[in-house]
Chains A and B, each alone.
Chain A
Amino acid sequence: MSDNLYAQLISLTAGTLLLTAALIVWRRSLRASVRLLAIQGIALAGLVAVLGWHERTIELVLVSLLVLGLKAVLLPLVLSRNVLNHDDDREVPRLNPTASLIFAALLTMLAYIVCRPWMGDTDDPTSRAVPIGIALVLIGFLLLITRRRAASQLIGFLVLDNGIATVAFLTATGVPLIVELGASLDVLLVVLILQVLTGRMQVKFGGTDLDDLTELKD
Chain B
Amino acid sequence: MNWTATAVALLQVLVATLVAPLVIGITRQTRARLEGRVGAGILQPWRDLRKLLRKETLQANGVSWISSIGPIVVMASSLLVAALLPLISTVALPFVPDDLFVVVSVLLIGTVAVALIGLDVGSAFGGMGSSRHMMIAALVEPTVLVAVYALSIPAGSSLLSSIVATRLDAPAVILSPVSLLAVVALFVAVLAETGRLPVDNPSTHLELTMVHEAMILESSGRDLAWLELGSWLRLSALLGLVANLMIPWGLATDATVLALVVGTIALLLKLTVFAAALGAGEVFLAKLRLFRVPELLAGSFVLAFLAVTASYLVT
A113–B172 CA distance with the chains assembled, in angstroms: 26
CB distance from B311 to the nearest CB of A (A): 10
The answer to whether B314 touches A101, judged by C-beta atoms less than 8 angstroms apart, is: no
Q: How many residues belonging to B are interface residues under a CB distance threshold of 8 Å?
A: 19
SS class of chain A's interface: helix, strand, loop or mixed? Answer: helix
Q: With A113-B313, A131-B313 known to touch, is A101 a contact of B177 (CB < 8 Å)?
A: no
Cβ < 8 Å to A, chain B residues 160-216: 172, 175-178, 180-181
The answer to whether A97 touches B306, judged by C-beta atoms less than 8 angstroms apart, is: no
Q: Which residues of A contact B305 (CB under 8 A)?
A: 105
A34 at the interface (CB under 8 A from B): no
SS class of chain B's interface: helix, strand, loop or mixed? Answer: helix
A131–B310 CA distance with the chains assembled, in angstroms: 9
B294 at the interface (CB under 8 A from A): yes
CB distance from B39 to the nearest CB of A (A): 31
Per-position contact with A for B292-307: 1 when CB-CB < 8 Å, else 0? 0011001100110110
Q: Which residues of B contact A101 (CB under 8 A)?
A: 295, 298-299, 302
Which of A8, A101, A102, A108 has the largest count of B CB atoms less than 10 A from its CB? A101
Per-position contact with B for A94-131: 1 when CB-CB < 8 Å, else 0? 00111001101100110011001000000000001001
Q: Which residues of B contact A102 (CB under 8 A)?
A: 298, 302
Q: Which residues of B contact A22 (CB under 8 A)?
A: 299, 302-303, 306
A105–B175 CA distance with the chains assembled, in angstroms: 21
Q: Which residues of A contact B294 (CB under 8 A)?
A: 98
CB distance from B178 to the nearest CB of A (A): 8
B309 at the interface (CB under 8 A from A): yes
A14–B178 CA distance with the chains assembled, in angstroms: 11
The answer to whether A4 touches B172, judged by C-beta atoms less than 8 angstroms apart, is: yes
A15 at the interface (CB under 8 A from B): yes
A97–B293 CA distance with the chains assembled, in angstroms: 11
The answer to whether B299 touches A105, judged by C-beta atoms less than 8 angstroms apart, is: no
Q: Which residues of B contact A105 (CB under 8 A)?
A: 302, 305-306, 309
Closest to A9 in B: B175
The answer to whether B309 touches A112, judged by C-beta atoms less than 8 angstroms apart, is: yes
CB distance from A119 to the nearest CB of B (A): 8
CB distance from B192 to the nearest CB of A (A): 15
A26 at the interface (CB under 8 A from B): yes
A19–B182 CA distance with the chains assembled, in angstroms: 11
A105–B172 CA distance with the chains assembled, in angstroms: 26
A96–B294 CA distance with the chains assembled, in angstroms: 11
Q: Which residues of A contact B306 (CB under 8 A)?
A: 18, 22, 105, 108
The answer to whether A128 touches B314, judged by C-beta atoms less than 8 angstroms apart, is: yes
Cβ < 8 Å to B, chain A residues 1-46: 4, 8, 11-12, 14-16, 18-19, 22, 26
Closest to B314 in A: A128
A131–B299 CA distance with the chains assembled, in angstroms: 21
A18–B314 CA distance with the chains assembled, in angstroms: 14
The answer to whether A12 touches B295, judged by C-beta atoms less than 8 angstroms apart, is: no
CB distance from B310 to the nearest CB of A (A): 7
Q: Which residues of B contact A16 (CB under 8 A)?
A: 177
The answer to whether B302 touches A112, judged by C-beta atoms less than 8 angstroms apart, is: no
Closest to B178 in A: A15
Cβ < 8 Å to B, chain A residues 176-205: none
The answer to whether A8 touches B175, judged by C-beta atoms less than 8 angstroms apart, is: yes
The answer to whether B180 touches A98, judged by C-beta atoms less than 8 angstroms apart, is: no
* 22 A-B contacts (beta carbon < 8 Å): A8-B176, A11-B176, A11-B177, A12-B176, A12-B177, A14-B177, A15-B177, A15-B178, A16-B177, A18-B177, A19-B177, A19-B303, A22-B306, A26-B299, A96-B295, A97-B298, A101-B299, A101-B302, A102-B298, A104-B302, A108-B309, A131-B313
4 more CB-based (< 8 A) A-B contacts, given A98-B298, A131-B314: A8-B176, A19-B181, A104-B302, A109-B309
B residues in contact (CB < 8 Å) with A = 172, 175-178, 180-181, 294-295, 298-299, 302-303, 305-306, 309-310, 313-314
